[in-house]
Amino acid sequence: MPRIASAALGGDEASIAADSNAMRGTLAAKPMQAYEVQEIAGPHGGVVREYADRRGRVFAVAWQGNRMPDLAQLLGTYYDRYLAAASLHRSGHHLVVLRAPDLVVSVVRYQRSAFGHAYLPGRVPAGVLPAELR
């Protein structure tokens, strides 16, 4: 499997290890039926979860904590799409939501909380509901 240095979302499982390293986090894997969840506990109490399908492709990421994670690292090649949506400044400083047929991104930053998720609807395994991707 090629080693991809970044790009969790849309990347392969090697990118999860890269994310874990970049975030100086610790990894824990939890196999599910249709996908595998890798949980990265960050250095400041936050947690990042990355969801890989049976072929190892990351189809979703989610995060929760007091501080923002490195979105460029987490979103990989999709970061520019977030950047474009955020640049519209549609809904204030505390929420950015991007909904497109191929990509959903939600970024929330409110008081001392920071959480959100991103997923690729076309790559979510059959039978998996977006609401599971928490």
Partner 1 sequence: MTNVRHGVLFGARAAMIAIALGALASCGGGNSGSFVGVGGGGGSGGGSPSGGNGLNQVAVTVDAGPAAAGGTVNTLYTSVTLCAPGSSTRCQTIDHVQVDTGSSGFRVLASALGSGLQSSDLPQATDAFGNPLDECVQFADGYSFGSVRSADLVIGNETAASIPVQVIGDPAAGAAPASCVQGPQENTVATFGANAILGIGNFLTDCGIACANAAIAGAYYDCPVTGTCTPVAQPVSGQLRNPVAAFAADNNGVVIDLPAVTAPGATVSGTLLFGIDTQSDNVLPASATIFTLDPNYGTLDTFFNGTSYPSSFFDTGSNGYFFTDDTIPTCTDQPAFYCPSAVENLQASVQGAAGTQAVLSFSVDNADADFATNAAALPNLAGPAGTGLQGAFDWGMPFFYGQPVYVAFESGAPAGVSGPWIGF
Contact residues for partner 1, defined by CB under 8 A: 43-45, 47, 49, 62-64, 66-68, 70-72, 82-83, 85-100, 104-117, 130-131, 133-134
Closest distance of CB 71 from partner 1, Å: 6
85 membership: H or E segment, kind and range: helix 79-87
Closest distance of CB 61 from partner 1, Å: 10
**Could you tell me the two tokens for 48?**
């990042």
Alpha carbon distance 74, 11 (integer Å) = 10
Closest distance of CB 53 from partner 1, Å: 19
Q: Which is nearer to partner 1, 52 or 114 (CB)?
A: 114
Alpha carbon distance 43, 24 (integer Å) = 7
Q: How many residues does the chain have?
A: 134
